Each structure stands twice: as structure tokens, then as C-alpha cells.
């Protein structure tokens, strides 16, 4: 593997084909996303107002009075039946299910998910469920991308790319945030950062963003027109809000899974859990109707500064309870909008304790940091806030808040609200991506240069005796001629094969290896990634290393030497060394 064989990226012209398929998936999910929004509004109008309409009306204006308690229960019973007799994959908020499909299911989602996920979520949210539509649409978009890929001759990696492209297009059609959607792919779903995956995802997000301009959805979705002041004093307040958001993120994660554990201890089938959770949702709706449904109007009000401390405290407490119980019960719904609302309400409740700023500024920071901290997506949360508000001036405080919250949650929690669910299914997810150490190290970095060899003049009898000597430390040796050229490898399986073939005990190794025209060898400048591929193809555990100039033996690599690459990487992370020392003289 010479220098001409190496490149910065592995993408080739096939990426253009995958980009085209990703664009088609984006068109499909855009249609589904808009239809889901309309379906949610229709169900809300039918259930709470008894009319066939797609117009938005606040839940607080429903004429049903205390009877509204039963509407979320009815919706949850329907969804419980759909999950039991349709597919369990519609339960939950979508992102953990997408992660599991990518890591464990070869990125395959079935038609039932594509049909039942948006339908079930529309029923839950339309009947008052305290969720956003983004999680289900992301899951549905992933299912559409996966289904299209399953109809085509693509690799598992390409199928994963199309699943993620569909998911991120779904996020874009909801919020109009293509950059944040791309960052979601990079920080959470792709498990790699390569052009072969990134380009199709970006294509899908751009197509969805363009199509969104024809839907009549607000752009930006939650405008924030306030001004931003920057100083060290302000930065200290940003950090404080980030810390509070990080602590809130940890609390919300533990709350959801504590409630989920409580539902698992109930002596009834899980199909009925959402209905029990919906009882709490219905009662919460009586206390504060603003906690019901999508809640996008509440986010707008928070960013306008229209939510006072008392209303903010009510929204914060009640929304946290109903969202945690509903999500813990295993119903279908999203998390992005609820997390934003809870974080923003926290800031609104504590507005008197924060420095003076433009209306909505502190809720903006808190909702973004809560989102980024809970999902551990600081870059996604930052660009998401910029995208939905259209205010680029808030970039610096958003970075500070989101990364502060991320710091808190990374130090406090081993897993986040997404990966905890995957871990509870018995699987580990790592959220850290590194360059492959095998793609960066060369054979000369790990090969043994003091190589014990055997001469080609050695007889088969002597070779057998040599391998069985107590002083022989390993089972494999290069066989070389007088000029140190490699003739082959001596090891016990090879000797046994010769003996079984009836070779004479006085036959020399050179004679036995004379028909071996292709001796697997490596070169010092090979990268270990390529060496591993060659060793796997040849099904060998040891390989001699020869000079390119004269083909003479210069080293030897065993499979144990490959492990040293990982050991060195680990040592570089934990070993602490001082290179410069202060000289103290009396």
C-alpha cells in the first residue's frame, strides 16, 4: 500500500447516487411531516372543540371543562393497542429506537414504523400528550430512508446513511434548522464523520429546508429579536444558567427512568401503562392547560418575555411532571420541544435572580442548554437555537451555556436520556469518536526488528525438533535464504501438513517451500489498517516485513504486535509527562 493508494477520504462517485436517493427520501418525509402537523391540529379540534378544523386553538379555550381529563386517557389507550398489535417500536420518543436500528439492526426499519409512528404520535399529541412532533417525525423519516434503502442494492453503511438522512430531513421540516439537523447526524446518529455519509445527509436537509418554504410553516419558527450584551459579568451569568440547565438535565433523565422503573413494577400489561400516565397528563392539563400538546406557542411566549415568574414556575413544575410520567409510561412522543419548554420555564421562574437582559434572552439560553445537556448534543443545541430564532447575535452566550451544561452532565452522568434506554436493552453505546489508530500507525512503528529466523537449509526433521524445544519461545519463524530473503513461514501446522503429505525427513525447508510463489509479506511504510486487511485475507497471524529496495527481511509482525497500537493510544490518554522542568539554584 503505497502513498498513491492513500487518500484523505474513502468517498467515490457512488456517493452521488446515494445523495440522489437521500433527496428522494427528503421529499417523502417532508410530505409526511406536514401531514402529521395537520393531523395533530385536526385531532385536537375534534377532541377538545368538536369541530373539523386545522386551525390552532389553545387547549385552555376548550368548552369541555373537567371532562378534558379523559381525552388524553382515550388517546393513550388507542396508542397502547397500536403498540401491542402493531409494533412496539412506536413506543418512546424515537431517537433511541433510531440508534438501536443503526447499531444493532443493520439500519433496517419496517413499514409498520413508517405508518404507525406518525399516526400514534399524532393521536397522543392531538389528545393532549405533552410532547413535540419532532421525535416521531425524525423516527418516521429514518424509517422512510431505511425502507427506500431496503428496496435498493446498497451496503449496510449506505443504508445507515439513508436512514440518518431521512431522520435529519424530518427534523429540518419541523423546525427549519438544516445546520442543526446535520449536527444531530454528526453528534448522535452517524457514528462517523466522513463525506460518504455527510454529503447525503446534507443533501436531504437542504431539500427539506427548501420544501419547507412552500408549506407555510413559520420561518424562523420561534423568532427572537432581542439584543445581546457581552461582558465578563454577562459571561458569568451565562455559565450560571448553563450549570443550572446541566443539573436540570441530570434530574430530568433520572426522573424519566425512575418513573419507567415504577411502571415496570406494575402487575399489568405494558399496553395499559400509557393510559395510566395519561391520567396524570389530564389532571396536569386541568391545573395548567399550557402543558398539553405541542407547546410551541409556549416557547414563542417564553422568547417574547410574556411568561412571568409565577406562570413560569407553574409551567416548569407541571410540565416536568406530566412529561416525565407520560414518557416513562412508554407512550409515543418527542422530547426536543418539551425540554426546551421546561428549560425556558425554569429561566422565566427565576428571572428576578438574573441580570437585566432583553425579554426572552434568559429563557432562550436555558432552553437551549437544557436541550443540549439532556441529549448531550451541545453543537446541535447551539445551532438549533440559532436556526429556530434567526438571531445570530446570541451565538456566543449559547455556546457558553450549552457547553457548560454539557460539562455538568458529562461529569454527573455515565449515560444520557437517549443511551440509557439502549443500555437498558443490554447494549453499550459510546458517544466518543476517534480517528482509527490503525489508519495512522505504520508497520515500522510496531514490527520486531530483532527477528529469529531459520535457514532454508534446515531439514524437516530438524525443524520439527526445533519447534518442540523448550527454549523455543513462539511458534512461528520466517524461513530465509543466505541473502536474508524470505522463503516462507515455519510453524507447527505447516510442519504437520508436510509430515502428513509424506515428505522425507531430510528434505530441506527451501525445497519444501520452493513451490510457494506468493509469500505474504509487508513493507515498513504500510499502514496497519492495510496490513490487517492483508493478514485477514491470507488468514495468517504472523507476517514478515521486507525492505522495498532489496526485499530482504527487516522485521516481523505478529497479531500481538497489533494490540500495541491500542495500548499506545491508551497510554497517550492516561500517561502524564513533564517535558520542561524549572531549574532551581541556590
Burial of 433 (0-12, 13-18, 19+ CB in 10 A): exposed
| Residue with grid cell 389528545, as numbered in its chain | 127
d(CA 405, CA 373): 5
Confidence band (pLDDT; 50, 70, 90) for 359?
Answer: very high
For the residues 236-243, what does the mean pLDDT come to? 97
DSSP string covering 482-545: TT-BEEEEE-HHHHHHHHHTT--TT-BHHHHTTT------B-TTSBHHHHHHHHHHHT-SEEEE
For the residues 206-228, what does the mean pLDDT come to? 91
State yes or no: pLDDT of 514 exceeds 50. Answer: yes
Residue 325 · residue 256 · CB < 8 Å: no
| Residue with grid cell 429506537, as numbered in its chain | 97
pLDDT of residue 89: 77
pLDDT of residue 88: 83
Grid coordinates of 381: 443545541
For the chain, the 3-state helix, strand and coil shares in percent, each to the nearest 5, are 65, 5, 30
For the residues 491-501, what does the mean pLDDT come to? 90
d(CA 540, CA 532): 10
d(CA 349, CA 314): 8
Grid coordinates of 538: 491470507
pLDDT tens for 121-147 read: 899 999 999 988 887 888 888 889 999
pLDDT of residue 272: 94
State yes or no: pLDDT of 207 exceeds 90. Answer: yes
Buried residues in 9-48 as b, exposed as e (16+ CB within 10 A): eebeeebeebbebbbbbbebbbebbbebbebbbbbbbebb
Strand 477-480 to strand 454-455: parallel, antiparallel, or no bridges (unpaired)?
parallel
The DSSP code for 437 is G
- Please tell me the least confidently modeled range out of 22-36, 100-114, 261-275, 382-396: 100-114
Grid coordinates of 140: 418516521
**Measured in whole angstroms, how far is the alpha carbon of residue 549 from the centre of its chain?**
46
Specify which of 299-308, 517-526, 574-583 reaches the highest per-range mean pLDDT. 299-308
- Please tell me the least confidently modeled range out of 60-69, 397-406, 460-469, 577-586: 577-586
Grid coordinates of 215: 408549506
Quote the percentage of the chain above a pLDDT of 90: 63
Residue 303 · residue 360 · CB < 8 Å: yes
Q: How far is residue 201 from each of residues 17, 18, 180, 236, 547, measured CA to CA in Å? A: 13, 10, 12, 37, 44
Dihedral sign (CA 562, 566, 567, 568)? positive
pLDDT of residue 473: 81
d(CA 341, CA 363): 9
State yes or no: pLDDT of 334 exceeds 80. Answer: no
* Three-state secondary-structure class, residue 479: strand
Confidence band (pLDDT; 50, 70, 90) for 586?
Answer: very low
The residue among 494, 476, 484 whose CA lies nearest residue 561 is: 476
Longest dimension (CA), the chain: 103
pLDDT of residue 435: 79
Tell me which of 111 and 352 has the higher pLDDT. Answer: 352
Q: Which residues contact 97 (CB under 8 A, 6 or more apart)?
A: 89, 139
State yes or no: pLDDT of 582 exceeds 70. Answer: no
The residue among 516, 513, 523 whose CA lies nearest residue 543 is: 523
The residue among 263, 299, 323, 286 whose CA lies nearest residue 80 is: 263
Confidence band (pLDDT; 50, 70, 90) for 6?
Answer: low
Phi and psi, residue 257, nearest 5°: -80, -25
CB atoms within 10 A of CB 247: 16
The residue among 496, 521, 518, 498 whose CA lies nearest residue 508 is: 498
Give all domains of the chain, ordered by start, each with its CATH number.
Answer: 15-212 (1.10.3080.10), 232-424 (1.10.3080.10), 437-572 (3.10.580.10)
The residue among 293, 285, 270 whose CA lies nearest residue 43 is: 293
Confidence band (pLDDT; 50, 70, 90) for 4?
Answer: low
pLDDT of residue 517: 65
Dihedral in degrees, nearest 10, Cα atoms 444, 447, 452, 453: -60
d(CA 235, CA 437): 38
Amino acid at each position: 500500500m503505497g502513498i498513491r493508494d492513500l487518500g484523505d477520504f474513502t468517498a467515490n462517485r457512488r456517493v452521488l447516487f446515494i445523495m440522489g436517493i437521500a433527496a428522494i427520501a427528503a421529499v417523502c418525509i417532508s410530505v409526511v411531516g406536514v401531514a402529521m402537523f395537520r393531523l395533530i391540529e385536526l385531532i385536537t379540534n375534534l377532541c377538545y372543540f368538536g369541530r373539523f378544523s386545522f386551525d390552532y386553538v389553545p387547549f385552555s379555550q376548550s368548552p369541555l371543562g373537567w371532562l378534558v381529563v379523559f381525552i388524553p386517557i382515550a388517546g393513550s389507550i388507542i396508542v397502547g393497542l397500536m403498540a401491542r398489535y402493531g409494533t412496539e417500536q412506536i413506543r418512546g420518543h424515537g431517537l433511541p429506537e433510531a440508534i438501536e436500528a443503526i447499531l444493532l439492526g443493520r439500519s433496517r426499519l419496517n413499514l409498520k414504523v413508517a405508518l404507525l409512528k406518525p399516526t400514534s404520535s399524532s393521536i397522543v399529541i392531538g389528545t393532549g400528550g405533552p410532547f413535540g412532533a419532532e421525535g416521531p417525525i425524525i423516527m418516521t423519516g429514518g424509517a422512510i430512508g431505511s425502507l427506500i434503502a431496503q428496496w435498493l442494492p446498497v451496503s449496510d453503511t449506505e443504508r445507515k446513511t439513508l436512514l440518518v438522512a431521512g431522520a435529519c430531513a424530518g427534523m429540518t421540516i419541523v423546525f427549519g434548522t438544516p445546520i442543526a439537523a446535520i449536527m444531530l447526524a454528526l453528534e448522535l446518529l452517524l457514528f462517523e464523520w466522513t463525506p460518504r455519509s455527510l454529503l447525503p445527509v446534507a443533501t436531504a436537509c437542504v431539500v427539506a429546508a427548501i420544501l419547507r418554504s412552500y408549506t407555510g410553516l413559520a420561518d424562523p419558527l420561534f423568532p427572537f429579536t432581542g439584543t445581546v450584551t457581552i461582558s465578563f459579568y454577562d459571561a458569568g451569568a451565562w455559565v450560571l444558567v448553563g450549570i443550572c440547565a446541566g443539573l436540570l438535565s441530570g434530574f430530568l433523565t433520572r426522573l424519566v427512568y425512575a418513573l419507567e422503573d415504577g411502571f415496570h413494577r406494575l402487575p399489568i400489561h405494558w399496553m395499559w401503562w400509557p393510559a395510566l400516565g395519561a391520567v396524570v397528563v389530564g389532571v396536569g392539563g386541568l391545573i395548567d392547560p399550557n402543558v398539553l400538546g405541542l407547546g410551541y406557542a409556549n416557547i414563542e411566549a417564553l422568547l417574547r418575555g410574556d411568561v412571568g415568574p409565577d406562570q413560569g414556575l407553574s409551567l416548569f413544575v407541571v410540565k416536568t411532571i406530566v412529561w416525565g410520567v407520560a414518557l416513562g409510561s412508554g407512550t409515543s412522543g418527542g422530547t426536543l420541544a418539551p425540554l426546551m419548554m421546561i428549560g425556558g420555564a425554569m429561566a422565566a421562574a427565576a428571572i428576578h435572580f438574573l441580570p437585566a437582559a432583553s425579554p426572552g434572552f434568559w429563557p432562550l439560553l436555558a432552553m437551549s442548554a437544557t436541550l443540549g445537556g439532556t441529549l448531550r448534543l451541545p453543537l446541535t443545541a447551539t445551532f438549533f437555537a440559532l436556526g429556530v430564532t434567526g438571531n445570530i447575535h446570541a451565538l456566543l452566550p449559547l455556546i457558553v451555556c450549552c457547553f457548560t451544561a454539557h460539562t455538568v452532565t458529562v461529569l454527573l452522568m455515565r449515560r444520557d436520556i437517549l443511551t440509557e434506554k439502549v443500555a437498558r436493552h443490554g447494549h453499550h453505546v459510546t458517544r466518543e469518536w476517534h480517528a482509527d489508530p490503525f489508519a495512522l500507525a505504520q508497520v515500522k512503528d510496531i514490527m520486531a526488528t530483532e527477528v529469529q529466523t531459520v535457514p532454508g537449509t534446515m531439514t524437516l526433521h530438524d525443524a520439527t525438533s526445533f519447534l518442540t524445544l523448550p527454549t523455543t519461545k513462539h511458534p512461528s519463524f520466517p524461513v530465509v535464504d543466505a541473502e536474508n530473503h524470505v522463503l516462507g513461514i515455519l510453524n507447527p501446522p505447516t510442519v504437520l501438513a508436510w509430515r502428513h503429505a509424506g515428505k522425507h525427513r531430510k528434505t530441506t525447508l527451501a525445497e519444501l517451500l520452493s513451490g510457494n510463489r506468493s509469500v505474504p509479506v509487508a513493507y515498513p511504510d504500510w499502514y496497519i489498517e492495510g496490513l490487517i486487511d492483508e493478514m485477514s485475507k491470507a488468514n495468517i497471524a504472523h507476517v514478515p516485513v521486507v525492505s522495498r529496495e532489496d526485499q530482504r527481511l527487516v522485521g516481523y509482525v505478529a497479531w500481538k504486535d497489533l494490540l500495541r497500537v491500542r495500548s499506545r493510544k491508551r497510554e497517550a490518554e492516561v500517561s502524564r509527562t513533564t517535558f520542561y522542568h524549572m531549574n532551581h539554584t541556590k
